[in-house]
Amino acid sequence: MPKLKTHKGAKSRFMMTGTGKIMRIKGPKSHLRRNKAKRVRKQFDEKIQLNAADKKRISRLIPYGVK
């Protein structure tokens, strides 16, 4: 069986936890960050869990990163 290729864009946007959850970072993290409130800037730093509906789609893009 041939090896599966990893989608490089998905590899940089998503990360796997040890328990198999797929985490992502919120969108406008760095664009015009100085003008945003401190509370908003802190919200962009935290990672949030991916929806269960998208897990199957993303796990196809990162075949060896998903447990």
* Local confidence band at 66 (pLDDT 50, 70, 90 cut-offs): low
* Local confidence band at 45 (pLDDT 50, 70, 90 cut-offs): confident
pTM above 0.85, yes or no: no
Cα gap 34→20, rounded to integer Å: 34
Residues 51, 55, 18, CA angle at the centre, nearest 5°?
95
For residue 51, the model assigns a pLDDT of: 86
Burial of 22 per CB tally in 10 Å (0-12, 13-18, 19+): buried
Are 24 and 13 in contact by the 8 Å Cβ rule? The answer is: yes
Fold (CATH) for 8-61: Factor Xa Inhibitor (4.10.410)
- What does the pLDDT look like over 15-28, one tens digit per residue? 888 888 899 888 77
For residue 7, the model assigns a pLDDT of: 92
Cα gap 61→67, rounded to integer Å: 13
